Amino acid sequence: MHLTKHIAVLRRRRIVLPLLFSVLLTAIPARCQDGVTEQKAIGGNNATIVVNVRNTSGDPLPVAAVVKLYRNGSIPNGQTTSSQGRAIFMPQNLGDFLVVVEASGYKPGRANVDVPIPVKVEVDVYLQPENDANSTANGAPGAPILAPKAQKEVDLGLKALQENKLDDAQKHLNAAAALAPSYPDVLYLIGVLAIRRNDLPRAREVLTKATQIDPKHARALAALGTVLSNQSNYEEAISPLEKALEVNPHSWETRWTLAKACYYQRQYDRALKESQSALAAAEGRAPEIELLVAQSLTSVGRYEDSAQTLRTFVQNHPDHPQAAVAQRWLDRLKQAGKIKSD
């Protein structure tokens, strides 16, 4: 995998940044099929995003709507017209997407959707009539779209990040920031770059600004929580991580980071719950989460369960870099008389 070297560098620096990798992995422009049929979408093995366009009563919107899909909040990934209140996309890449919906006589609507694995995902977008004075989260005007010149700089910055050309990334993202100084996605990427440079104070500064501008920017919230956690500000890290999960509850990386913060805040019951949820959602992509599960089980006094978790980890992942650590913890439980000898 072309990011293996980059991940190893981050591990050596003790930087845990799960959201960064999803950004880099989606840096190559995706191709999206517009207006595919539902039968074709359900019958395939690709990722599928089904957009349900509804009115404020929850019924399918009675008029056709233009539905646009953006990757990473700003990169165009397709456009189609809804039929009977539904629009379907089949993005070739995985990641975070923004859905923007416009219909005559209605205020624009938007929604965020995360597609971490190639499955069918449905998202509801509620549109309000133009003369409706009330507002809802999904009825707010759509996020502004970057001008072409700024978008070009963002794309070049992403490409440079992917290739680990940090000076080039800095140049392009600075240019994007000059054109769109308050655009949260640009600030988010500048924060990612700061983390790659191990400049956590700068990362915290720009990510905080991004979340102030867009309090529901899941990736910026998660990255901010990760930075705070890596600065050992675990208590402060919990809030942005919780908010990130409110927007995107399917992010196992964010939940894993939250579990760590809870553990170091001595919230062991919650650390156990969150780490178990993260492990299940990761579906084998990060087996080392089992070590946090074991730590949490030990901290709540469930020593035999902890030992079994450690045994399973060593048995299933004997070549994992953390296998020796797991075995050492298991030996300590035996020496302390907390578990029965094998």
With bands split at pLDDT 50, 70 and 90, how would you rate the model's confidence at 84?
confident
Of 59, 57, 53, the residue nearest 108 (C-alpha): 53
Q: Could you tell me if residue 17 is inside a domain?
A: yes
Q: Could you tell me if residue 339 is inside a domain?
A: no
Which is more confidently placed, 230 or 55? 230
Q: Could you tell me if residue 54 is inside a domain?
A: yes
Measured in whole angstroms, the distance separating CA 150 from the mean position of its chain's CA atoms is 23
**In a shared domain, residues 112 and 161:** no
Confidence (pLDDT) at 110: 86
**In a shared domain, residues 171 and 234:** yes
**With 80 as the cut, is the pLDDT of residue 22 above it?**
no
With bands split at pLDDT 50, 70 and 90, how would you rate the model's confidence at 87?
very high
Mean pLDDT computed over 110-120: 82
List the CATH number of the domain containing 167.
1.25.40.10
Of 235, 23, 242, 213, the residue nearest 114 (C-alpha): 23
Q: How far is CA 278 from CA 190, 198, 287, in A?
A: 27, 26, 10
Burial class (CB in 10 A: 0-12, 13-18, 19+), 317: middle
**In a shared domain, residues 99 and 155:** no
Are 66 and 40 in contact, with CB atoms under 8 Å apart? Answer: no
**In a shared domain, residues 184 and 263:** yes
Biggest CA pair distance of the chain: 72
> Model pTM?
0.62
Residue with tokens 């899941």: 218
* Integer Cα distance of 135 and 126 in angstroms: 10
* Integer Cα distance of 297 and 268 in angstroms: 8
Question: Chain-wide mean pLDDT for the chain?
Answer: 82
**In a shared domain, residues 179 and 276:** yes
**In a shared domain, residues 17 and 61:** no
In percent, the amount of the chain with pLDDT more than 90 equals 49
Confidence (pLDDT) at 2: 39
With bands split at pLDDT 50, 70 and 90, how would you rate the model's confidence at 14?
very low
Confidence (pLDDT) at 23: 41
With bands split at pLDDT 50, 70 and 90, how would you rate the model's confidence at 73?
low
Q: Could you tell me if residue 177 is inside a domain?
A: yes
Q: Could you tell me if residue 291 is inside a domain?
A: no
Q: Which of 126, 160, 192 is the last residue of a domain?
A: 126
Q: Could you tell me if residue 324 is inside a domain?
A: no
Of 305, 241, 239, 307, the residue nearest 278 (C-alpha): 241
Q: How far is CA 244 from CA 32, 214, 287, in A?
A: 26, 12, 23
Confidence (pLDDT) at 11: 38
Residue with tokens 């990473």: 72
User: Out of 108-117, 211-220, 228-237, 277-286, which region has the weakest mean confidence (pLDDT)?
Assistant: 108-117
User: 338: which 2 tokens?
Assistant: 């907390």
With bands split at pLDDT 50, 70 and 90, how would you rate the model's confidence at 109?
confident
Mean pLDDT computed over 173-182: 92
Q: Which residues of 231-243 are buried (b: 16+ CB within 10 A; e: fewer)?
A: eeebeebbebbeb
**In a shared domain, residues 182 and 241:** yes
**In a shared domain, residues 14 and 41:** no
* Integer Cα distance of 60 and 86 in angstroms: 8
**In a shared domain, residues 43 and 9:** no
What residues contact residue 170 under an 8 Å CB cut-off, 6+ apart?
193
Give how many domains the chain has, as a whole number.
2
Residue 97: its H or E element: strand 95-102
User: 212: which 2 tokens?
Assistant: 């102030």
With bands split at pLDDT 50, 70 and 90, how would you rate the model's confidence at 4?
very low
**In a shared domain, residues 91 and 154:** no
Q: Could you tell me if residue 280 is inside a domain?
A: yes
Residue with tokens 């867009």: 214
**In a shared domain, residues 252 and 155:** yes
With bands split at pLDDT 50, 70 and 90, how would you rate the model's confidence at 138?
very low
Phi-psi region of 112 (alpha: psi -120 to 50; beta: other; left: phi over 0): beta
User: 98: which 2 tokens?
Assistant: 């923004």
- 118: containing domain: 32-126
Q: Could you tell me if residue 328 is inside a domain?
A: no
With bands split at pLDDT 50, 70 and 90, how would you rate the model's confidence at 163?
confident
With bands split at pLDDT 50, 70 and 90, how would you rate the model's confidence at 145?
low
**In a shared domain, residues 162 and 260:** yes
**With 80 as the cut, is the pLDDT of residue 317 above it?**
yes
Which is more confidently placed, 43 or 233? 233
List the CATH number of the domain containing 67.
2.60.40.1120
Confidence (pLDDT) at 296: 97
Mean pLDDT computed over 250-261: 94
